[in-house]
Amino acid sequence: MKIERIETYPLFYPLKQPYGDANGLKKYRTCFLFRIITASGYEGWGEAIDWLPTLELGFKERIIPYLLGKKASDRQTIVNVISKWHKRIAVGISMALTEIISQHANLSICELWGGNLHDHIPVYASFQSYTAHDDWMAKSVSMAERELLNGFRRFKVKIGGRPLTEDQQHIEKLQHRIGNNISLILDANQSYDQSTAKAWEKKFKEWSNMLWFEEPMPLHDLSEYKLLRTALSVPVSGGENLKSVKDFHSLLSAGAIDIIQPDINHHESIDDYRTTLLIARALGFRVSSHTFDGGLSRLYTLFAHACLPAWSKMEGEELEPVEWDVMENPLTEVIPIEPANGYVKIPTGTGLGIELDMDLLHRFRWDGSVYR
């Protein structure tokens, strides 16, 4: 079980038309995958997020020399050490070492975790609504039309990056087009203050298809969230940037939120991320994981949700939907799974249960040039 080799796959894709949210426009998408191979021939894939030059140099100078010769079954010790250097690499290492153990045991990841409780996971189409062009609103509505045809029944769109009246005009147009049969999430990426966030309540009262209101305000002041939560008729969600079980426990125990949104890439290990999910369940809160970076972390997110007990006894509401990025990003296609009618079927084979698309890994390999 000794680690013998580590290969890195930094991927880069420049976007034809930048898109974004209230935080600004993205000009490119990146992904950093790596493969850990043991002397006995078992392999495990990991994914990490950061600037690609940082990750490449970090692996070459520190991570690979540290990992070589270590026992792949010593996941906790290895991840604890690496998390002190770089938490987002540590979670990727925990993915790869988990897969190696599942390969060795001839089990799927879900079986290793006790077996999945759900075969299919609901997903919502996640849009980045803004572009730099005047026709951004029309473009957003046409993207929604495209995903209606692709079978999605839950959408998340961005607000908070334009004046309130312009954003409300956008959502009115979208509502008119998609109708009440589509559930809607509005994500403000922490843009508003209390009074601006409350200004949406008038609209929420008119609409019956709101799933939740995501991060309306900065998340550091939980008392503000508590006030807002009592004033709104739709659930409030948040937490995609929080980093640990402790952070989420504070959020939940303050009564500040209805739905937590942990992101596996922001925790220091899969174990820590899964503990966050289970704590939400134990305390009776909903959890809908945030996953926007890469296909592998999204797959692990789906595995974790597949092993999570239902949150509700209401038929058709047993599981919260997980995010599914529908924007232009061929890098996620490295993991060849696709939703059908708004649900993803959980792969069942040994390890990940799927093979990564090696052609795509080579086609989109970052050329080493500096980007900003």
Residues with active-site annotation: 158, 290
Q: Is 293 in the site for Mg ion (CB under 5 A)?
A: no
What is the C-alpha end-to-end distance of the chain, expressed in Å?
Answer: 39
Going by C-alpha positions, the residue among 92, 86, 85, 117 that lies closest to residue 36 is 92
Find out whether 347 and 354 touch, Cβ atoms under 8 Å: yes
Residue closer to Mg ion, measured from CB, 147 or 214: 214
What is the nearest approach in angstroms of Mg ion to the Cβ of residue 189? 6
Going by C-alpha positions, the residue among 24, 26, 25, 28 that lies closest to residue 14 is 28
Tell me which amino acid residue 130 is: Y
What is the nearest approach in angstroms of Mg ion to the Cβ of residue 301? 14
Could you tell me whether strands 43-48 and 343-345 are parallel, antiparallel, or unpaired per DSSP bridges? unpaired
What is the nearest approach in angstroms of Mg ion to the Cβ of residue 126? 9
Residue closer to Mg ion, measured from CB, 136 or 212: 212
| d(C-alpha 320, C-alpha 201), whole Å | 23
Determine the interface stretch with Mg ion among 139-147, 197-205, 206-214, 343-351 (rule: CB under 5 A). 206-214
Residue closer to Mg ion, measured from CB, 22 or 331: 22
Q: What residue has token string 């609209």?
A: 203
What is the nearest approach in angstroms of Mg ion to the Cβ of residue 219? 11
179 Cβ neighbours under 8 A, 6+ residues apart: none
Phi, psi of 246 (to 5 degrees): -60, -45
Planar angle of CA 245, 48, 332, nearest 5 degrees: 110
- What token pair was written down for 115? 């077996």
Residue closer to Mg ion, measured from CB, 98 or 190: 190
What is the nearest approach in angstroms of Mg ion to the Cβ of residue 323? 8
- What token pair was written down for 316? 């058709």
Determine the interface stretch with Mg ion among 8-16, 77-85, 186-194, 281-289 (rule: CB under 5 A). 186-194
What is the nearest approach in angstroms of Mg ion to the Cβ of residue 235? 14
What is the nearest approach in angstroms of Mg ion to the Cβ of residue 190? 8
Residue closer to Mg ion, measured from CB, 38 or 261: 261
Could you tell me whether strands 24-38 and 43-48 are parallel, antiparallel, or unpaired per DSSP bridges? antiparallel
Number of Cβ within a 10 Å radius of residue 54: 14
Residue closer to Mg ion, measured from CB, 47 or 187: 187
Residues in the chain: 372
Residue closer to Mg ion, measured from CB, 156 or 305: 156
| d(C-alpha 173, C-alpha 364), whole Å | 36
| d(C-alpha 303, C-alpha 291), whole Å | 13
What does each C-alpha distance from 16 to 127, 137, 210, 328 come to in angstroms? 16, 18, 32, 9
Q: In the set 147, 187, 293, 325, which binds Mg ion (CB under 5 A)? A: 187
Number of Cβ within a 10 Å radius of residue 259: 21
| d(C-alpha 121, C-alpha 69), whole Å | 38
Residues that bind Mg ion (CB under 5 A): 187, 214
